[in-house]
């Protein structure tokens, strides 16, 4: 293969082993990857986020523990995505003992490389939130799309092992979404919002449509409710990245690279216009559920991506003294958990039957106690993945509907 990749003196020093065997091995892999994607140079990164701490078999451990044995250390601040177990509440894990042991071992091995034990799919909710324009190397689909779209940082979709190679070298291939001219939208999504529509549901519907119809093209969305919050945009990006290969979207007037439609498109006209009517939105939301109103529930699961403190603020007024008829699981991260304790909210949440799941997520590992019935969620991503991942029927609804349904023990529509 002909390569036009130009390496700096520091890159050669890494390749030559002057910074250790782990860094040299990582750089060799990174160079091959850069050549395969046609990058002409590497770029310094400010941060990395690693998706490979979720145990998927022996190869996961082999790769990371080899780096540990070579004395590897990450060269930039590096956060970790969810693992296979909740290290704070290990008793929640209901899977095979060996899988649990290996999952915990893999998580700890990443810490030995100097990674920060955030264990969250929402690193943008931590102190490691990247600045606008920062060159980073993030894995985990929702984190990638959020960083690019909502924060205006720059990363491609990096997968397992390559994300860690970037962290160990502090470098990434300069191609794709790292490059300004590649970040312009080519597809316009026109959303017909409506006064009685919940902004969160409209954003989830828009994200689902984008994922299914845009592939890896960059969309710009016009017409989202002005009150759409950062958490609404988080939900939009998460389902768009799940249903498709979207790594960046723009929302006119809401995201930093889209003050206007013209700016988002780089001054060019969009190649395609997709119109999302009110009926389209309602149908998309309906189709995220595999069961009807009134269906008995085994559990409610929320926080995919991880619940933010803002989402807990919206949840607290919905709590009553009545204990839920079904189990409620909320996935969140250590930083948010600490804030819940500071506000004395954790005890209140647990008193009404809510289980806080840290370090992992209920759709990727065996946490949910009762799998005999349907599970309700307010997450488009959870609704998209859970039927295939853990084999449950799903009801999708708003936060208020999820809580009302948990108290009733069946799917309730408000």
- Give per-residue pLDDT as tens, 56-105: 999 999 999 999 999 999 999 999 999 999 999 999 999 999 999 999 99
pLDDT in the model for residue 87: 97
Asked if CATH classification 3.40.630 holds for the domain at 9-175, the reply, yes or no, is no
Predicted model pTM: 0.96
Is there a common fold for 9-175 and 289-408?
yes
Helices 162-169 and 21-36, packing angle to 10 deg: 120
Phi, psi of 255 (to 5 degrees): -110, 155
Calpha distance 22→165 (Å, rounded): 9
Low-confidence ranges of the chain (pLDDT < 70): 1-2, 195-196
The β-bridge partners of 377 are 396
Give CA separation, 255 vs 37, 222, 406, in Å.
28, 11, 34
Q: Where are the domains of the chain?
A: 9-175, 184-286, 289-408
Which spans in 288-328 are helix H?
Answer: 309-315
Indicate the CATH number of 289-408 among 3.30.499.10, 3.40.1190.20, 2.30.38.10, 3.10.450.630. 3.30.499.10
pLDDT in the model for residue 110: 98
pLDDT in the model for residue 195: 66
pLDDT in the model for residue 2: 55
Query: Which residue, among 76, 227, 289, has the nearest Cα to 166 in the 3D structure?
Result: 76
**Structure-token pair, residue 360:** 């992992």
Phi, psi of 256 (to 5 degrees): -65, -25
- Give per-residue pLDDT as tens, 309-326: 999 999 999 999 888 999
pLDDT in the model for residue 1: 46
pLDDT in the model for residue 3: 74
């Amino acid at each position: 293969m002909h390569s036009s990749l130009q390496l700096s003196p520091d890159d050669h020093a890494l390749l030559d082993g002057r910074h250790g065997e782990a860094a040299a091995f990582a750089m060799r892999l990174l160079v091959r990857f850069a050549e395969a994607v046609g990058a002409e140079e590497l770029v310094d990164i400010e941060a990395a986020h690693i998706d490979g701490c979720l145990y998927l078999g022996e190869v996961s451990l082999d790769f990371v523990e080899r780096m540990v044995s070579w004395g590897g250390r990450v060269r930039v601040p590096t956060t970790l995505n969810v693992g296979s177990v909740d290290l704070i509440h290990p008793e929640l894990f209901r899977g095979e003992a060996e899988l649990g042991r290996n999952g915990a071992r893999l998580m700890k091995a990443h810490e030995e490389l100097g990674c920060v034990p955030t264990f969250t799919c929402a690193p943008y909710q931590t102190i490691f939130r990247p600045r606008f324009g920062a060159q980073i190397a993030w894995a985990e689909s929702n984190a990638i799309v959020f960083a690019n779209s909502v924060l205006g940082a720059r990363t491609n979709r990096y997968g397992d092992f390559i994300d860690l190679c970037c962290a160990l070298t502090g470098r990434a291939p300069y191609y794709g979404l790292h490059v300004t001219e590649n970040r312009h939208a080519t597809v316009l999504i026109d959303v017909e919002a409506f006064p009685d529509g919940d902004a969160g549901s409209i954003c989830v519907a828009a994200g689902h449509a984008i994922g299914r119809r845009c592939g890896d093209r960059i969309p710009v969305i016009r017409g989202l409710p002005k009150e759409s919050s950062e958490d609404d945009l988080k939900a939009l990006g998460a389902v768009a990245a799940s249903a498709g290969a979207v790594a960046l979207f723009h929302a006119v007037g809401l995201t930093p690279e889209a003050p206007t439609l013209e700016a988002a498109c780089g001054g060019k006209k969009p190649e395609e216009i997709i119109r999302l009517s009110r009926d389209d939105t309602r149908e998309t939301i309906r189709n995220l559920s595999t069961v009807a109103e009134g269906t008995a529930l085994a559990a409610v699961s929320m926080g995919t991506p991880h619940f933010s403190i803002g989402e807990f603020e919206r949840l607290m007024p919905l709590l009553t003294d009545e204990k839920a008829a079904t189990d409620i699981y909320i996935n969140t991260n250590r930083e948010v958990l600490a804030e819940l304790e500071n506000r004395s909210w954790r005890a209140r949440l647990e008193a009404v039957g809510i289980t806080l799941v840290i370090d992992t997520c209920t759709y990727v590992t065996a946490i949910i106690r009762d799998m005999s019935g349907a599970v309700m969620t307010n997450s488009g991503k959870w609704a998209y993945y859970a039927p295939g991942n853990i084999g449950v029927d799903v009801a999708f609804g708003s936060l208020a509907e999820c809580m009302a349904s948990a108290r009733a023990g069946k799917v309730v529509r408000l």
